[in-house]
Amino acid sequence: MRPQKALDKEVINGLTEVFCSKGYEGASLQDLAAASGLKKASLYHRFPDGKKEMADAVFLHLHDFIQQNVFDVLQDDNLKPEVRLQIALDNIAVLYDGGKRTCILRALSMEAGIDLFGKQIQDGMKQWIERFERIGVELNLSTEVANDYALQTLIDIQGSLVLTRGIGNTNIFDRTLKNISKRYLE
């Protein structure tokens, strides 16, 4: 290897940053190479199926993070539901970098992305709803109300991310996370 070669973590994090901020079509191979610390052709060595495989890897990488730091936390039997919810929300704040990073589900739901990732996006969103439904039930909400709350939670997260990016102020995202917490715990 020439200078100091790309750690896998640097590669995946670079790809993630580009896909999240520019979407699928907006992310050029040049961008992806620059952000990952590899040359274009080297990326093709690691991801022989090209751009789509890179985006898949990012999707999977984020899904793993969410699985561990949100979904699993939400059903960790060692903790009280109220605590689980709070930790999960804190981790969501990390996931979206306090509102500065866009959700990959949204980033890929524009333009060409919806054709390539439609099913994965749909499944991903359904999982979010499902997990928040469960924590709602565990917090003694009726299944109906738990469903309402779960949907609203997703809407709040996605909507506040849109507003935060559009207006350029992370206060909206912060406040929204607190509101979600309040809705469940008060």
Partner DNA sequence: GTTTTATTACCGACCGTTCGATAAATTACT
Partner DNA sequence: AGTAATTTATCGAACGGTCGGTAATAAAAC
Nearest C-alpha neighbor of 85 from the set 143, 159, 149: 149
51 makes contact with a second copy (CB under 8 A):
no
Give me the phi and psi of 80, to 5 degrees please.
-70, 145
Nearest approach, Cβ of residue 125 and a second copy (Å): 5
Residue partners of 172: CB distance under 8 A and separation at least 6: 99, 160, 163, 164
Nearest approach, Cβ of residue 34 and DNA (Å): 10
- Each residue 23-42 as x (binds DNA by CB under 7 A) or -, in order, gives --x-xxxxx------xxxxx
112 makes contact with a second copy (CB under 8 A):
yes
104 makes contact with a second copy (CB under 8 A):
no
Token reading at 8: 């896998």
Nearest C-alpha neighbor of 107 from the set 19, 28, 27: 19
3 makes contact with a second copy (CB under 8 A):
no
34 makes contact with a second copy (CB under 8 A):
no
115 makes contact with DNA (CB under 7 A):
no
Nearest approach, Cβ of residue 143 and DNA (Å): 44
Q: Which of 16, 36, 160, 170 binds a second copy (CB under 8 A)?
A: 160
User: End-to-end distance of the chain based on CA atoms, in angstroms?
Assistant: 56
Q: Across the chain, where does the E strand assignment appear?
A: none
The Cα 7–Cα 76 span in angstroms is: 32
Residues found near a second copy in the complex (CB under 8 A):
21-23, 25-27, 102, 105-107, 109-112, 114, 118, 121-122, 124-126, 151, 154-160, 162-163, 165-168, 172, 175-176
